[in-house]
Structure 1
């Protein structure tokens, strides 16, 4: 049950942060379009960060073993065969 509520919890926290930013910007007479853009950007960043921090245990990350390469694959809810496929893909990707 907790796994089903986690995305909604992250979204609610993100919405509250976005609303707080929007209210602060509106009190300084910032145009509505800029206020909306900033509030949505903050909400998106908070949502993604909260999901990674709180729900990070549910993801498996495979990184390229080459030194200095930043390529990574994040998977969730896959079986052993598909997990192995993504592990091999991360180790042998074509963007080197």
Structure 2
């Protein structure tokens, strides 16, 4: 068999090689607890019900907003990581964020 196989031949036929496992997303790998994910979705609900742009100044909210932005649920201007006493601005809820709200029962 010629062409597009990625395996090698043996006496019994073609041996398929497993593809390399993908690297986990750094944001997902950095998460510590499922509770943080739940809290991020609570923040998403809060954002969906508020008028935008919305300013957040709590470090915990900024970290949750970073998770939502990295997931593609919101458009936001975030301060650099580790910046003391900075605030973040939520600009918009994306179509993916609206779909997530419907999926998780928030909208």
- If each structure's helix is expressed as a fraction of its own residues, which one has the higher value? 1
Q: Which has the higher strand share?
A: 2
TM-score by length of 1: 0.24
Q: TM-score, normalised to structure 2's length?
A: 0.22
